Amino acid sequence: MRVGFIGYGNMADALASGFVGANVVKFADLTMCNKSNVERRESFRARGGTVVETARDVTEKSDVIFLAVKPPYIKSVLDEVRREISEEALEPKVFVSVAAGVTLEAMEGVWTTHDQKPPAIVRVMPNTPCLVGAAASGICKGSTCSEESLHRALALMSTVGVCKVIMESQMSALTGVSGSGPAYVFVLIEAMADGGVRAGLPRDVALELAAQTFYGASKMVLETGEHPGVLKDKVCSPGGTTIAAVHALEQAGVRAAMMNAVLAAANRGDELA
Ligand code: NAD
C-alpha cells in the first residue's frame, strides 16, 4: 500500500513513524508534501521517503492519502486536488482527514459545489501515542466512501493502536476523550512525579514510577475487563494510605475536573467545526 501525506507536521510524522514501526509500510512506500519545515522534508527523505512539491503529486503517488494540514487549509488543498485530478483517477483512492472539526460535508462540498462526485473520504481523529503503537482513534466515513475503503483506512489505523468506528456526530466527544486526552495524562503524570519529589524521591525515579503506574493501571483496566471502580476498591484497604489519597483527590474535585476537561475539548471541537 502506498501512503501519502498532504502536510507533514507532528501528527503526520507520528502516523508515518507508527505505520513503519508496525511494518505495514516501508518509508519507500511513503510520499509527502509540506509547505514549510525544511528539516521535516530532509529527515523524511533521509529515511527513504519521497518528498514532492504539491498535493497533486502526493495524491497521484498514493493509494491512501492523509490530509494532515491544519484545519483551515483542508478545503484549499482538496480544491487543488479537485482541479488537478479527474474523478475517475480519484475513484480507487481514499482520503483520510485528521483535521479537527472539518466535517465530511465540508470536504465533499469541494466537489459537490461543482456538481462533481467526491472521492472516498474518511475522517479520523488519532492521537500522538500512534507513535508508540498505542493510539486511541475514531473513524467515520463520507457519503461516497464504500465499506471497503473505510476498512482500508481502518486496517491501517488499527496497526498503530485501537480505532473505533463512530458516527460523525460523536467526533467532538471522541476528540475530548482520546484526541486531546494524552495531554491530560501528561499533566497528571507530571503532577504525580512532583508529588513524589515533594515526598522525597529523586526526580527521575518519581517520573518513571508515575508513568509506569499510569501504564500498569491502564493495562489492568484493558486486560482484566473489570470496572475501574472495582479495581480502585480492591486497592483501598480500610483506614489505609490509598483511601486517604483517594479522599484528597475527591476533595479537590478531580472527577469533575476531568469531566470538564473532556467537555471543554469537545465544545472547542464543535466551535471549530
Ligand atoms: P503541524 O503544524 O505540526 O503540521 C501541519 C503541517 O502542514 C505543517 O508542517 C505545514 O507546513 C503543512 N502545511 C500547511 N499548509 C500546507 C499546504 N497547503 N500544503 C502542504 N503542507 C501544508 O500540525 P499538526 O499538529 O501535525 O496537525 C495537523 C493536523 O492534525 C491538524 O488538522 C490537526 O487538527 C490534526 N490533529 C493533530 C493532533 C495532534 O496531537 N497534534 C491530534 C489529532 C489531530
Q: pLDDT by residue (tens digit) across 159-211?
A: 999 999 999 999 999 999 999 999 999 999 999 999 999 999 999 999 999 99
Give the position, in ligand 1's atom list, of the atom nearest the Cα of 11. 26
The answer, yes or no, to whether any atom of ligand 1 lies below 6 A from the CB of 98, is yes
Antiparallel, parallel or unpaired: β 120-125 and 135-141: antiparallel
pLDDT at 116 exceeding the cut of 90: yes
Residues 54-107 pLDDT 10s: 999 999 999 999 999 999 999 999 999 999 999 999 999 999 999 988 999 999
Note the pTM of the prediction, 2 decimals.
0.91
31 ligand 1 Cβ < 6 A: no
For ligand 1, the distance from its centroid to the CA atom of residue 111, given in whole angstroms, is 22
**For 10-48, how does the pLDDT look when each residue is reduced to its tens digit (9 = 90+)?**
889 989 999 999 899 999 999 999 988 889 999 999 999
- Please work out whether the CB of residue 81 comes within 6 Å of at least one atom of ligand 1: no
* Residue of 34, 59, 67, 130 to test ligand 1 pocket, by largest number of atoms within 8 Å of CB: 34
DSSP state of 161: E
Atom 9 of ligand 1, nearest CA residue: 9
The CA distances from residue 236 to 81, 165, 195, 242, in Å, are 58, 36, 19, 5
- 61 neighbors 6 (Cβ within 8 angstroms): no
Test site for ligand 1: of 6, 10, 38, 107, most ligand atoms within 8 A of the Cβ:
10
* CA of 77 relative to ligand 1 center, distance in Å: 12
Burial of 206 (0-12, 13-18, 19+ CB in 10 A): buried
Determine if ligand 1 sits within 6 Å of the CB of residue 70.
Answer: yes
For the chain, percent of residues with pLDDT exceeding 90:
91
Residue 272 pLDDT exceeds 80? no
Rounded distance, CA 127 to CA 148, Å? 24
Q: pLDDT band at residue 4, thresholds of 50, 70 and 90?
A: very high
pLDDT tens-digit profile of 236-257? 999 999 999 999 999 999 999 9
What is the whole-number distance in angstroms between the Cα of residue 136 and the centre of ligand 1?
A: 18
What values do phi and psi take at 214, rounded to 5? -65, -45
Atom of ligand 1 nearest to the CA of 127: 42
How far is the centre of ligand 1, averaged over its atoms, from the C-alpha of 227 (Å)? 36
